[in-house]
Amino acid sequence: MELQYNNEHGRNDQIVSQFLLKTLHIVLESRVPSLRPPPSPPRSSSFVKKSDKWFNLALGDRPTAFTFAHRDPMIIDIILVQEMGQNQSGYGALVETVIERWAVQYEYSRASQSQSSESYKKTYKKSIILLRSLYSMMRLLPAYRAYRTKAKGKPCDFDITYKVSSFSVPFTRSEEQVMKLYTFFPVEAQHGHLSVSVKYRESLSDFNLETSATFPPEIITDYVGSPATDPFRAFPPVPQRPHSWTSGGPFTKNQSPPAYHSSSGRFDLSYSPSPSYDVYSQRTRQQSHHSFDDSPPFSPSPPMYLSSGGNYIQSRLRSETAPVSIPNPLFTRHLSPNLSDPNRHSLPPLSPRSTRYEPSSHESSPAIRSLKKSEMARVGDLSSASGSGSANHYSSSHKVSRDNKDDSGRFSGLLSSSGSPRIGFSRSSSRLSLQDELDDIDFSCPFIVDDVDTCDFPVSDVAFDSQSGAGGKQGKKSQDAAVGALVRMLRTAPPLRQDSSCCSDHVEAQSNASGLFMSRKTSDALEELKAYTGIKHLILSKSKDTL
């Protein structure tokens, strides 16, 4: 804070700025579970950070870093995100509702200038009290219970996010009717007064916020956009939404505004060309490794978001090499689509190079946990457990946007209410340089040289209808046709990494969608066989010659 505070005016400004920051801290730390700092070791009673001593209210580390002009109002929206109206395939629309809107402002008033203005000391004392009552109030408003439910960490069918800006879209009339207003008594300051007010929903019973029981994983075979329904479908690009964080002050590179998850009501999918087969492979891979029950199979959407999110969030990332766990790609669909370059990457890109896996992350994505170690070892052929790596940054990107705090992923439980939601989520606590990961993304991963064990597949539930079963037990004809289609896709696909050339060779020998993996493996094996046969012949011929 480059303020001269050796004068009344400077002090006043400093108090106002710190007041805004402290208010933001108080509001966010009692509403957004993902911003909770990880439990720290018991602090010594004597040590409190200097910055934390403001207003004599020690709260710990600030959840986010914000800079804003203290002349502008600060509007903090607390948003409840729920999935509503799930259709038969299990996907519903994400509905976001503002359950609280906090308005904090330093209101200038000309009138006060003529009077003897409050000394900054009095202002400071009074704002101490105001912040205390704000802190208490946070726990008395209805949204606190929602926060507590969410903060328990168990799967929930909702999530809480926030948005900070210096303006706000006014509520609709119907929304206004259910909202109550509470205004704190303003604190007089030098040239005006500090005011804090909140509009809040009186009752959250409409949302049926509950902790969901864990449920067994469910394989969705006919999810929207599955190859079963339309193998060649291309997904529409994600619409861009405007940024909405504060317009006032400068934002340093490290201050990515909170990701405003704008997937309002639509299951937006965004893919690069010919994603279907990637979906196949990713999905199949996921299916086969579903030993962890926390989340259902992924949906085809996420990669787009993530990749676009990566650039944006990267600046905020502490690029530690902490291993990341594979988030369920579904999770990523909640990322703000207004992040850069949505079309940059396509799919469940699993970088061959990233082998990071964080076994200690107990909240790691189900996807990664479901990857058996053997699978991962084999994955290493091409992607060297990059599934974990790249998948991780889905969650990590999201997490990073939340200031790299360890926590359960934002939508960790969003869609896992018992029975219906089919969408998985990630709970990764990874911190990762997204950019590096994204660079590694390519299409080689689907063709994991993996003996996707037939026993790993939930047999009848595989998405690919008649092509289910790992061993091509179905009618060969239909399978061959499907395989042919796949081959066509493969051939027209963007260039893959070095291994991709092998992929198409023996596809026709395989008989189902999972045959992509199978074909990879078989083609490889056949290649090797050929090579060995050649060598054998060579040796034999040579030996004959010598004989």
Partner 1 sequence: MNCEVCQLKELDVEYFEIREVLRCILHTIFFHRALGLVRPKDVDLTLFEITYVQCGDAELEKKVDDKIDQFIDRVEKHPNKKNQICLSFFEVKNKQATWFTHKVEHLYWEQWYINLNVAHHPKPHSGKSHHSKLVLDPGESASDEGNARRATLESSLHEVLFQIIKFVNEKKDHIPPIPNMEGVSFPYEITISSSSDSAFGMDMFKRMLQTGHPTMLS
Contact residues for partner 1, defined by CB under 8 A: 43, 48, 53, 56-59, 125-126, 128-130, 132-133, 135-137, 139-140, 144-145, 148, 184-185
Residue 49 or 536: which CB sits closer to partner 1? Answer: 49
Cα–Cα distances (Å) from 237 to 244, 333, 342, in that order, read 21, 12, 8
Residue 124 or 305: which CB sits closer to partner 1? Answer: 124
Cα–Cα distances (Å) from 209 to 113, 412, 490, in that order, read 48, 15, 45
List, in sequence order, every beta strand (DSSP E) within 403-509: none
DSSP 8-state assignment for residue 488: H
Residue 124 or 235: which CB sits closer to partner 1? Answer: 124
DSSP 8-state assignment for residue 211: B
Cα separation, 488 vs 503, in Å, equals: 12
CB 338 within 8 A of CB 317: no
Copy the structure tokens of residue 5.
């505070």
Residue 190 or 433: which CB sits closer to partner 1? Answer: 190
Closest distance to partner 1 from the beta carbon of 80 (Å): 18
Cα–Cα distances (Å) from 123 to 73, 130, 187, in that order, read 18, 10, 7
Closest distance to partner 1 from the beta carbon of 36 (Å): 12
Residue 137 or 234: which CB sits closer to partner 1? Answer: 137
Closest distance to partner 1 from the beta carbon of 18 (Å): 15
Residue 57 or 526: which CB sits closer to partner 1? Answer: 57
Cα–Cα distances (Å) from 51 to 22, 60, 147, 318, in that order, read 10, 9, 26, 22
Closest distance to partner 1 from the beta carbon of 188 (Å): 9
SS3 of 291, please?
coil
Closest distance to partner 1 from the beta carbon of 41 (Å): 14
Closest distance to partner 1 from the beta carbon of 143 (Å): 12
Residue 43 or 318: which CB sits closer to partner 1? Answer: 43
Copy the structure tokens of residue 408.
């359960």
Cα separation, 373 vs 388, in Å, equals: 11
Copy the structure tokens of residue 38.
């990880």
Closest distance to partner 1 from the beta carbon of 48 (Å): 7
Residue type present at position 222: D
Closest distance to partner 1 from the beta carbon of 331 (Å): 29
Closest distance to partner 1 from the beta carbon of 136 (Å): 5
Residue 145 or 362: which CB sits closer to partner 1? Answer: 145
Cα separation, 506 vs 487, in Å, equals: 9
Cα–Cα distances (Å) from 109 to 105, 113, 114, 117, 131, in that order, read 12, 7, 10, 11, 22
How many CA atoms, within 13 angstroms, populate the side-chain half-sphere of residue 404? 20
Cα separation, 505 vs 480, in Å, equals: 14
Residue 211 or 355: which CB sits closer to partner 1? Answer: 211
| Residue keyed to tokens 């996010």 | 161
Residue 132 or 243: which CB sits closer to partner 1? Answer: 132
Cα separation, 438 vs 344, in Å, equals: 9
Residue 62 or 290: which CB sits closer to partner 1? Answer: 62
96's enclosing H/E stretch is strand 93-108
CB 346 within 8 A of CB 304: yes
Residue 38 or 170: which CB sits closer to partner 1? Answer: 38
Query: Residue 484: CB partners within 8 Å, gap ≥ 6?
Result: 507, 508
Closest distance to partner 1 from the beta carbon of 148 (Å): 8
CA atoms 492, 497, 501, 503: torsion sign: negative
Residue 134 or 448: which CB sits closer to partner 1? Answer: 134
Residue 56 or 87: which CB sits closer to partner 1? Answer: 56
SS3 of 25, please?
helix
Closest distance to partner 1 from the beta carbon of 338 (Å): 36
Closest distance to partner 1 from the beta carbon of 135 (Å): 6
Closest distance to partner 1 from the beta carbon of 145 (Å): 7
In the chain the first and final C-alpha atoms are separated, in Å, by 89
DSSP 8-state assignment for residue 118: P
Closest distance to partner 1 from the beta carbon of 130 (Å): 6
Supply φ then ψ for residue 98, to 5 degrees.
-80, 115
CA angle 82, 87, 90 (to 5 degrees): 75
